[in-house]
Amino acid sequence: MNGSPIYISKRTAKSLWQEYRIYRDRLELQSWVLFHTVVVPANEIRAIEVRPPVVLADVFRGKGFLFAFWAFKIDNADCCRHVAIKRKLGFMKRIRFSPDDPEKFVAMCQSIMPGTA
C-alpha cells in the first residue's frame, strides 16, 4: 500500500483542515476526531455519492433519517455538501466527510472502484 495519490483534497475549514487522499487501490481519510487515518480499500466501497447538507426539517419528516444519523462524520459533513460512503465491511460502514470538491472526489473514487472503470 504505497505509491503517490491520484487526488488530494485541499484542507478547508469545512473539512476541519483534514486531508483526504485517493490512491489507485484505496482512500485515506485523515481524522482528527479518531487521531487516526481511516483507510478504505477500493474493493470495500459498496456505494459513494455526493449528499446535500442535512436539513433537520427533512430528517423529522422522515427523509434520510437513518442515513443522516447512522453514519460516522469525520468533519462538518452535516453543514455542507459532502461525500457519503457505504462500505461492505468494517466497524464504520457509513462514513461522511467534506472534501474541497465533492463531485470531483466521487468521480475519482468511482474510477478506482472495481467493475466501474
Give the range of the structural domain holding residue 29, as residue numbers without chain letter: 8-112
Q: What is the pLDDT, as a whole number, of residue 34?
A: 66
> What's the pTM?
0.82
Q: Between these two residues, 116 and 74, which has the higher pLDDT value?
A: 74
Q: What is the pLDDT, as a whole number, of residue 69?
A: 56
Structural domain contains residue 1: no
Q: How many CB atoms lie within 10 A of CB 1?
A: 8
Structural domain contains residue 28: yes
Exposure string of 43-60, with b = 16+ CB inside 10 Å and e = fewer, is ebbeebebbeebeeeebe
The total domain count for the chain is: 1
Structural domain contains residue 51: yes
For the cut 70, the answer to whether the pLDDT of residue 29 exceeds it is yes
Q: How many CB atoms lie within 10 A of CB 25?
A: 13
CATH number at residue 85: 2.30.29
